[in-house]
């Protein structure tokens, strides 16, 4: 009903989405700074805590509908970070130092095997176990890049951490794809579809990666104005992978690798895609824990702990086994093994993708994985900080 006083707001005031997003970011920013300035804790830990409080595990200020909308944002943020990570993987290095591949295969295979054993001992169904073991191979690319940038760390452990993370993220996506053929067959029973699904997904994603990388080579990335073109290209690639139901993660990571290795000239842009990318990264850390619920801990907490223990041990052993021949000291190997522990948004998206394709999949998967992500996202940044300090590679 219009009246002379319609210009006044309706009572009670109803804050809209922007209000809640703004509030969440404000709190995340403050909490991150508090962690860093007061306790020398990594900012990421602070962002995670706010995500947890903002979501259904806390005050529930951000509801599930919004969290779902945020999925797109996560895809963009993670896609950009994977593109950046891929662009740091020097394949020539791996060719000249094959012990790196040995290290990478050892830590990935050991992780897969030990997580399967650990979860089987916890009576988790075999198919769920296999999915979790595949995802567990991946180290969080988001945290690795964020921590490297924040600490300005450089040196052998940092370089190898980036390389091993790029490789194990790639293994995780491809292995999960192969595991899902088994699920596909169980769920849909169509052999032709089962066989063509991974082919479509992997080859399709690689094709997008190729096109994106070749297009980027035509842009002078150092120039801050053409930087807009780069962001545009990356966003378009993400959108096309969405439209074609391909893997954004695989496409963007591979695009980065192709860009780095097809042309030896350095292809550079601001770390984190500058301030805009940094903001997206914060959003990513917050959102990852938004959908966490305390019931997950009750349902999958113990299995998550077993998985975390097995995974950390496997990664440590895998790295230590080849530390010397690959050219680092055992002390550096120890630090590298520990810094491979983080798990965050990348794993979360792989879990969510599994439920998108197979909505009725075992709820244990989400419970165990989100419990593990909660623990690892809150505690491993500190572990990475300590490891990099221990080895003298952090500058801040």
Partner 1 sequence: MSLETFNPSKPFTFGIELEIQIVNTHDYDLTKAASDLMRLVKDQKVPGDIKLEITESMIELATGICTNYHQALTDLGVLRDVLVTAAEKLNVGLCGGGTHAFQQWSDRQISDEPRFHYISELYGYLAKQFTIFGQHVHIGCPDADSSLFLLHSLSRYIPHLIALSASSPFVQGMDTGFHSARLNSVFAFPMSGRAPFALTWSDFEEYYSKMISTGVIKSMKDFYWDIRPKPNFGTVEVRVMDTPLSIEKAAAIACYIQALARYLLLDKPLTLHEDDYLVYNFNRFEACRFGLAGMNVNPQNGERRTIAQDILMTLDALAPHAQELDCTDALVVVRKLVQAQTNDAVWLRDIYRKESSLHETVRQQCLLWRS
Q: Which SS3 state, helix, strand or coil, does residue 182 take?
A: helix
For residue 254, what is the enclosing H or E element? helix 248-262
Q: What are phi and psi of 173, to 5 degrees?
A: -65, -45
| Binding status of residue 270 toward partner 1 by CB under 8 A | no
**Interface stretch with partner 1, choices 84-92, 136-144, 333-341, 359-367 (CB under 8 A):** 84-92
Residue 108, CA distances (Å) to 138, 318, 331 in order:
8, 8, 20
R_g of the chain, CA atoms, integer Å: 21
Of 66 and 94, the one with the shorter C-beta distance to partner 1 is 94
- Taking the complex as a whole, the smallest distance from the CB of residue 6 to partner 1 amounts, in Å, to 58
**Interface stretch with partner 1, choices 89-97, 181-189, 227-235, 286-294 (CB under 8 A):** 89-97
Of 37 and 331, the one with the shorter C-beta distance to partner 1 is 331
- Considering only residues 19, 39, 72, 93, which one is a binding residue for partner 1 as defined by CB under 8 A? 93
| Binding status of residue 268 toward partner 1 by CB under 8 A | yes
Angle, alpha carbons 283-287-292 (nearest 5°) = 160
- Taking the complex as a whole, the smallest distance from the CB of residue 214 to partner 1 amounts, in Å, to 19
- Considering only residues 25, 67, 90, 187, which one is a binding residue for partner 1 as defined by CB under 8 A? 90
Cα gap 220→284, rounded to integer Å: 28
- Binders in 312-341 for partner 1, by CB under 8 A: 326-329
Cα gap 29→31, rounded to integer Å: 6
| Binding status of residue 217 toward partner 1 by CB under 8 A | no
- Taking the complex as a whole, the smallest distance from the CB of residue 277 to partner 1 amounts, in Å, to 17
Q: Are 377 and 47 in contact (CB under 8 A)?
A: no
Beta strands in 137-190 (DSSP E): none
Q: How many CA atoms lie within 13 A of 1 on its CB side?
A: 1
Q: Are 333 and 319 in contact (CB under 8 A)?
A: yes
- Taking the complex as a whole, the smallest distance from the CB of residue 360 to partner 1 amounts, in Å, to 44
- Binders in 103-162 for partner 1, by CB under 8 A: 152, 154-156, 159
CA 381 vs. chain centroid, Å, equals 13
Number of residues forming the site for partner 1 (CB under 8 A): 24
Of 267 and 371, the one with the shorter C-beta distance to partner 1 is 267
- Taking the complex as a whole, the smallest distance from the CB of residue 327 to partner 1 amounts, in Å, to 4
- Considering only residues 58, 88, 101, 320, which one is a binding residue for partner 1 as defined by CB under 8 A? 88
Of 37 and 95, the one with the shorter C-beta distance to partner 1 is 95
- Taking the complex as a whole, the smallest distance from the CB of residue 316 to partner 1 amounts, in Å, to 20
Of 90 and 120, the one with the shorter C-beta distance to partner 1 is 90
- Taking the complex as a whole, the smallest distance from the CB of residue 87 to partner 1 amounts, in Å, to 8
- Taking the complex as a whole, the smallest distance from the CB of residue 59 to partner 1 amounts, in Å, to 42
- Binders in 248-267 for partner 1, by CB under 8 A: 264-266
Cα gap 305→298, rounded to integer Å: 12
Annotate 127-145 with DSSP letters as a single string: HHHHHHHHHHT---HHHHH
Q: How many CA atoms lie within 13 A of 111 on its CB side?
A: 30
Residue 304, CA distances (Å) to 133, 313, 354 in order:
11, 14, 18
- Taking the complex as a whole, the smallest distance from the CB of residue 65 to partner 1 amounts, in Å, to 41
Q: Which contacts (CB < 8 Å, 24+ apart) does range 27-35 have? A: 27/53, 27/54, 28/282, 28/285, 28/286, 29/282, 32/282
Site residues (vs partner 1, CB under 8 A)? 88, 90, 92-93, 96-97, 152, 154-156, 159, 163, 220, 222, 264-266, 268, 326-329, 393, 395
């Amino acid at each position: 009903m219009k009246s002379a006083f319609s210009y006044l707001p309706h009572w009670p005031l109803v804050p809209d989405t922007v209000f809640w997003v703004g509030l969440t970011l404000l709190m995340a920013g403050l909490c991150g700074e508090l962690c860093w300035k007061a306790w020398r804790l990594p900012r990421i830990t602070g962002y995670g805590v706010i995500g947890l409080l903002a979501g259904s595990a806390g005050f529930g200020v951000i509801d599930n509908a919004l969290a779902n909308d945020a999925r797109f944002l996560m895809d963009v943020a993670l896609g950009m970070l994977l593109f950046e990570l891929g662009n740091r993987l020097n394949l020539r290095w791996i060719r000249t130092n094959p012990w790196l591949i040995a290290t990478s295969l050892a830590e990935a295979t050991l992780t897969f095997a030990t997580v399967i054993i650990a979860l089987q001992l916890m009576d988790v169904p075999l198919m769920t176990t296999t999915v979790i073991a595949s995802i567990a191979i991946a180290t969080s690319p988001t945290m690795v890049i964020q921590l490297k940038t924040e600490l300005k760390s450089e040196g052998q452990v940092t370089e190898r951490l980036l390389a091993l993370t790029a490789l194990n993220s790639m293994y995780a996506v491809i292995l999960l794809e192969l595991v899902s053929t088994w699920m596909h067959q169980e769920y849909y029973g169509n052999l032709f579809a089962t066989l063509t699904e991974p082919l479509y997904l992997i080859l399709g994603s690689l094709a997008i990666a190729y096109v994106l990388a070749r297009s980027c080579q035509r842009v002078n990335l150092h120039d801050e104005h053409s930087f807009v073109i780069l962001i545009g290209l990356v966003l378009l690639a993400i959108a096309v992978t969405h439209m074609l139901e391909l893997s954004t993660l695989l496409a963007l990571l591979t695009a980065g690798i192709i860009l780095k290795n097809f042309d030896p000239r350095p292809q550079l842009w601001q770390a984190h895609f500058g301030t805009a990318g940094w903001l997206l990264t914060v959003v990513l850390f917050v959102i990852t824990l938004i959908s966490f619920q305390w019931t997950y801990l009750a349902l999958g907490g113990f299995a998550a702990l077993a998985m975390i223990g097995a995974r950390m041990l496997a990664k440590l052993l895998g790295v230590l086994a080849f530390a010397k021949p690959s050219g680092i000291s055992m002390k550096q190997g120890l630090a590298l093994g520990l810094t491979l522990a983080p798990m965050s948004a990348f794993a979360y998206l792989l879990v969510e993708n599994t439920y998108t394709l197979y909505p009725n999949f075992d709820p244990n998967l989400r419970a165990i994985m989100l419990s593990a992500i909660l623990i690892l996202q809150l505690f491993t940044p500190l572990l990475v900080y300590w490891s990099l300090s221990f080895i003298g590679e952090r500058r801040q």
